[in-house]
Amino acid sequence: MREMNIENLSRRRFLQGGAGLTLGFCLPSLVAAATAEKMPVATFEANAFLRIGSDNTVTVLSKHLEMGQGTYTGLATLLAEELDADWAQVRVEGAPADAKRYNNLLMGPIQGTGGSTAMANSWQQMRQAGAAGRAMLVAAAARQWQVAADEIVVEAGKLTHPASKRSASFGQLAEAAAREAVPSEVKLKDPKDFRLIGKTAKRRDSADKTNGTAKFTQDVQLPGMLVAVVAHPPQFGATVKAFDASKTRAIKGVVDVVQIPQGVAVLAKDTWSAKLGRDALVVTWDDSAAFKLGSDEILARYKELAKTPGLVARKEGDAAAAFAAPAKVVRASYDFPYLAHAAMEPMNCVIQLKPDACEVWNGEQFQTVDQGNIAHLLGLKPEQVKLNMLYAGGSFGRRASTHSDYLLEAAHIVKAIDGRAPVKLVWLREDDMRGGYYRPLFHHALEAALDGSGKLVGWKHRLVGQSIIAGSPFAGMMIKDGIDAVSVEGAANLPYAIPNLLVDLHTPSDIGVPVLWWRSVGSSHTAFSTEAFLDEVAAAAGKDPLVLRQELLAAHPRYLAVLKLAADKAGWGTKLKAGKAGERRGRGIAIHESFHSIVAQVAEVTVAKDGSLKVDRMVCAVDCGTAINPDNIRSQVEGGIGFALSAVLHGEITLKEGRVEQGNFDGYAPLRINEMPRVEVHIVPSAAPPTGIGEPGVPPVAPAVANAIAAATGKRVHRLPIRPADLQA
């Protein structure tokens, strides 16, 4: 591998209880890509990923948030593989916020978890950290035993010297290893020698999460801590005009009531008292600056906008010429609602303010951004803000808030009480559901031109929707010539060979609804419009949807392999078993690349006479590069299918006069177990570096279901969620 610099933190700063090895390990902090080949020799900064205790525990520090996606297990797998640790001795701990040591190597100078990048950016880094640790243990053993280092065998947490029959555990050697020089170079394993990678290491968080001991932000209790529940305005942009807290203050347990920019916060000794206190508040809101449109009006505006050209995101050939005299034109438009992330753990945050420091406990997903924003508000330096990363009870993007919204709310509250007590901000479900930062509402209009032979010769795709990136720290990097890259991802990079293609975008900037990335981001809508529309094109051309895709993807062998695997396993082309009387059944396929992974889904559905829909079976094929943990890949795809189906069947946040109409799981219903289809996940073998898996399972689900519905009923789905009324016989 390339040059790297490692230092031994044990001698410098830590001595874990006076014993053991803490490996500080240095890599360039500003690398553009995660592959060793691309790593420039740049500034070197210490960062620590590994501790070995004399009690024989191997602690891996995770720079990424565990929010369900299995990142703690994945990162530990990479390190433990090269360390040759016994998986049973491996523990994982959340790393502190430190942008210099724990940058996401794919996010430039930002520390954070998102974009399905945890494995991709850590693939070399964590293995190198493990290999360096192994080399130091070997050096320590060689010195103690007076033998040659290359005669020492390391396996499952144990070093042995077969010739002299000597052996020692990692723990026994930890202290000695801490005195060894850090190797200037390490050699990573040949993949054929992997013992953990590709072999399904068990999740490291299963035990804690099945006995109630896993600690989430909601579970943090600090001495003297107050719980804050906030009265938020009923419309985005409204503010407090006046409030009367006299009834609130009379409630037992309520300690204080403070006005903050986000509303009025009630602080109490416990959550229930704070909630009762908030219920008793009388707040008059100033709605003069509030956003007052309804979602129907927003959509109507978008449809008007879609009649005019937008900013060009991609242009190939001459689309206008292709549409000048086509043999056949296919047109369709698709509407996508606002969607809430609705993680099971509503947003929350614990914050403690001291004269020159602030400490935060959070399912921390966006360290650099949150640290900077909190520090700015409190008049501190970023390094004076200590972030403790706890498990997140789901996120799906919500905790990577571009504006640190709920964290700043907590900071305002603790500031308003002069830091005299630590504060746990608790959003109740309704606060979370109505708190904005939704997947943006989008309208798509597509047109395809076919020539006389039925060949697809022209494709026009116009998108209308709010920008997630505008006004965020990523704007400089991800908005080019007015095009927000995530608004058009999945549309502008359409892989199909179409000679004349035009993708353009309208980005309304006067819609006051906060928007954010929602698991799979732009692909959560672009996969649907492109893949559902391609099936409409296939029907117009009289072609099988799979065959048309194969023709248009002839130059993309990775796509073809994924398509074939999914189609073969699903029995594409075979006859589906008939349903009961009045039931219509169908099969549909879709494929989409997101976060450098390619996923195809084949859906089998049953549509009843009354239009009600049952998704019976999903067969999935995925190419996400090296499968670090095949079982976790299956798990993420299974969950991604369920997450996507929530939006297919139910998910919709609507506004009326600017007020969000849903508040809890009755109005906004995630998928339940009785709606979960049978799922099969098939992984394309690959030796390429790993790519994302947390998100890529999601995008092709909805279009595969829509295409299956069309196969069953002849009806095309043009808006989500799917309404049974649209599918009635």
Partner 1 sequence: MIQLNVNGKPVRLDVDPDTPLLWALRDTLQLTGTKYGCGQGLCGACTVHVDGAPLRACSTPVSAVVGRKISTIEVVEAERVGQAVQAAWRKLDVVQCGYCQSGQIMSAVALLRQNRKPSDADIDAAMSGNLCRCATYVRIRAAIHEAARSLA
Chain contacts with partner 1 (rule: CB under 8 A) = 67-70, 202-203, 205-216, 218-219, 221, 227, 252, 270-272, 342-346, 391-396, 428-429, 631-632, 635-636, 638-643, 645-646, 664-666, 670-674, 676, 678-679
- Cβ proximity to partner 1: between 271 and 384 the closer is 271
- Cβ proximity to partner 1: between 137 and 521 the closer is 521
Find the shortest distance in angstroms from Cβ 697 to partner 1.
10
- Cβ proximity to partner 1: between 472 and 601 the closer is 601
- Cβ proximity to partner 1: between 264 and 392 the closer is 392
Count how many residues are written for the chain.
Answer: 729
State whether the Cα torsion 162-166-169-172 is positive or negative.
Answer: negative
Token code pair at residue 410: 């907590």
- Cβ proximity to partner 1: between 34 and 722 the closer is 722
The gap from C-alpha 287 to its chain's centroid, in whole angstroms, comes to 34
* Identity of the residue numbered 594: S
C-alpha span between 117 and 102 (Å, rounded): 13
Find the shortest distance in angstroms from Cβ 344 to partner 1.
4
State residue 491 phi and psi, 5-degree precision: -105, -50
β-strand pairing of 385-389 with 357-362: parallel
Find the shortest distance in angstroms from Cβ 615 to partner 1.
12
Bridge partners (DSSP) of residue 354 are 357
Find the shortest distance in angstroms from Cβ 252 to partner 1.
7
Find the shortest distance in angstroms from Cβ 693 to partner 1.
12
Find the shortest distance in angstroms from Cβ 684 to partner 1.
21
- Cβ proximity to partner 1: between 240 and 676 the closer is 676
Residue with tokens 């010539």: 481
For 697, other C-beta atoms within 10 Å of its C-beta total 35
Find the shortest distance in angstroms from Cβ 50 to partner 1.
24
β-strand pairing of 678-683 with 659-660: unpaired
Q: What is the DSSP string of 251-294?
A: STTEEEEEEETTEEEEEESSHHHHHHHHHH-EEEEE-TT-----
Find the shortest distance in angstroms from Cβ 212 to partner 1.
2
Find the shortest distance in angstroms from Cβ 426 to partner 1.
8
Q: How far is CA 154 from CA 84, 139, 158, in A?
A: 6, 12, 6
Contacts of 30 (CB under 8 A, 6+ apart): 40, 42, 43, 103, 108, 109
- Cβ proximity to partner 1: between 205 and 318 the closer is 205
Contacts of 488 (CB under 8 A, 6+ apart): 313, 314, 463, 503, 505, 522, 526
Residue with tokens 């060793």: 36
- Cβ proximity to partner 1: between 151 and 205 the closer is 205
Find the shortest distance in angstroms from Cβ 339 to partner 1.
12
Find the shortest distance in angstroms from Cβ 640 to partner 1.
8
B/e letters for 397-408, b = 16+ CB within 10 Å, e = fewer, are bbbbbbbbbbbb
- Cβ proximity to partner 1: between 68 and 422 the closer is 68
Using a CB cutoff of 8 Å and minimum separation of 24, what contacts does 373-380 make? 373/403, 373/404, 373/407, 373/408, 374/404, 374/407, 374/408, 374/411, 377/408, 377/411, 377/412, 377/415, 378/353, 378/411, 378/415, 380/356
Find the shortest distance in angstroms from Cβ 197 to partner 1.
17
Cα-Cα-Cα-Cα dihedral of 472, 477, 481, 485, to 10°? -80
β-strand pairing of 158-161 with 153-155: antiparallel
- Cβ proximity to partner 1: between 346 and 495 the closer is 346
Contacts of 421 (CB under 8 A, 6+ apart): 224, 225, 226, 255, 267
Closest CA to 630 of 58, 70, 126: 70
Closest CA to 693 of 685, 703, 683: 683
Find the shortest distance in angstroms from Cβ 106 to partner 1.
23
C-alpha span between 122 and 80 (Å, rounded): 13
- Cβ proximity to partner 1: between 133 and 346 the closer is 346
- Cβ proximity to partner 1: between 356 and 666 the closer is 666
- Cβ proximity to partner 1: between 104 and 348 the closer is 348
